[in-house]
A and B are shown apart, each in its own frame.
Chain A
Amino acid sequence: MGLEDLAREAVEGAVANAKVDLKKIDAVFVASKASGSFNNQRHINALVSSFFSHNPPATRIEGACASGGLALIAAEQSLLSKENQTVLVLGVEKMTDVDGVGATSILSTAASTQLEGGSTFPGLYALLAQAHQLEFKTSREILSAVSVKNHRHALTNPLAQYHKEFTLKQVSNSALVADPLRLLDCSPVSDGASAVILTTKNIKNKAQIIGAGHGQDSLDLAHRKSLTELAATKRAAKKAFASSDLTPNKIEAAEVHDCFTIAEILAIEDLGFFPKGGGGKATLEGKTERRSKLVVNGSGGLKAFGHPVGATGVKQVSYLAEQIEKGECGLALAHNVGGSGATAVVHILSK
């Protein structure tokens, strides 16, 4: 499937699932990190608007791998301002139109090209992993446990990119990509699209977004105050919890941005689920597994569900909304990160 096929399938699926008249869509927000580079197709707001006979106003949003989360934030602001009543948010990325080296090059432009030349995303997260290891003795086993868990979780997700279990040993012995990160610490190159419809109208039996937050930090790692936390995540979480009047211990399911295994450890600490330095121990003890009080990345996460970069933030919210509607959980949180942590978006959903 090409970029347009993926986008169209997601839009048609969301419209059918929501049982909304297409003409009731007041506006469209499209998230894509790099369709111009991956597929030589820019101006995709117009491309997606043309799926609708009434050509609703459409805007494309880019914030690296947080594009999806940011598109949701923009859509929500348009609803809260009463500019719109019903909007569609689409995230889409078709990454396999280029080879692996090409994809690495395109993705690396989300780092500071001026200050981080020669870096790769596995490389930048490897630096964060090492900082965490130095301060909290985060072991190889902890990183591997994240990957093993998320691959296991994906087995029950029919939409996941991988339905394959790995052992701790297999993850720990996979090829080094950027020390200490190995191949099975890294989320894959993915093709995918996800769409959700947001409305201010009262609809029965559908999940609600009850809180949202957006945080930023310096684009390059060298100017961060700390390399053992993502301050943008903390800022986004603080706003999201304040706006929903909730605390982290109330969340039952969280989809967090595990682009690399260390990123899940950072996320569950920075979101306030576990104390700083305690995320690894909690993971090893199974406290983030399915059937625990807090399920982290029940979908398989970016690691196994897949990471079509611009679509991921929308996909997380779509997955959680579906879990809520099925009665699997009551309160859920989605955490979407751009780059090595310069942008973060947190959403809180409820019944």
Chain B
Amino acid sequence: MINPAKYWRNAKQTKLYLGRKGTVVVVTYIRSAGMDHQSSTPYSFAVVELADGEKVELTGVGHEKLEVGDKIECVLRKIPPNDGAGLIEYIIKAKKI
């Protein structure tokens, strides 16, 4: 659950990752999730090593099934709103290239 102030703080991080490329180190395919992500299942969730060696954890786009060694790009994706405020949240996800 996100609120506007938290979203504003998090959004400053988004530009640091947008467009960066990396490789999937380990990945799972989540078929059952919590309230915020249940409507998006199934989805990939991976530890990704970016080109400069930084490691991050990212969800895959849509239902795309990522595999170890896949090359990915960090892209911006909307996640379904689930709060009464109707805030549309965008987060960085991993898209196979």
Contact = CB atoms under 8 A, between A and B. Distances in A.
Specify whether A and B are partners: yes
A246 B61 CA distance: 50
Contact of A178 (B30, B58, B59, B91): B30
Interface string A90-126: 0000000000111011111000001111111011001
Contacts of B37: 118
Nearest to A121: B34
Contacts of B30: 118-120, 122-123, 126, 178
Given A134-B26, A222-B55, A120 B34 contact: yes
A127 B28 contact: yes
Given A222-B55, A222-B56, A178 B29 contact: yes
A130 B24 CA distance: 12
Contacts of A131: 25-26
Contacts of B45: 118-120, 123, 127, 178
A109 B36 CA distance: 12
A193 to B, nearest CB: 25
B29 A227 contact: no
Contacts of B97: none
A118 B59 contact: yes
Interface in B1-46: 10, 25-38, 40, 43, 45-46
Contacts of B91: 117-118
A176 interface: yes
Contacts of B29: 176, 178-179
Contacts of B88: none
A241 B13 CA distance: 43
A77 to B, nearest CB: 34
Given A105-B36, A221-B47, A227-B47, A115 B31 contact: no
B28 A118 contact: no
Interface residues of B, number: 27
Contacts of B43: 118
B57 interface: yes
Given A130-B68, A134-B68, A220-B57, A120 B33 contact: yes
B57 A104 contact: no
A177 interface: yes
Contact of B28 (A115, A123, A220): A123
Given A117-B91, A223-B55, A122 B32 contact: yes
Contact of A108 (B27, B34, B59): B34
B27 A222 contact: no
Given A116-B57, A119-B45, A123-B45, A130 B26 contact: yes
A105 B27 contact: no
A174 to B, nearest CB: 12
A178 B28 contact: yes
A67 B22 CA distance: 36
A126 B57 contact: no
Contacts of B55: 222-223
Nearest to B89: A117
A95 to B, nearest CB: 14
Interface of B: 10, 25-38, 40, 43, 45-47, 55-59, 68, 91
29 contacts: A101-B38, A102-B35, A105-B35, A105-B36, A106-B34, A108-B34, A117-B91, A118-B36, A118-B45, A119-B30, A119-B57, A120-B32, A120-B33, A120-B34, A126-B28, A126-B30, A131-B26, A175-B31, A177-B31, A178-B32, A178-B45, A179-B29, A179-B31, A180-B28, A221-B47, A221-B57, A222-B55, A222-B57, A223-B55
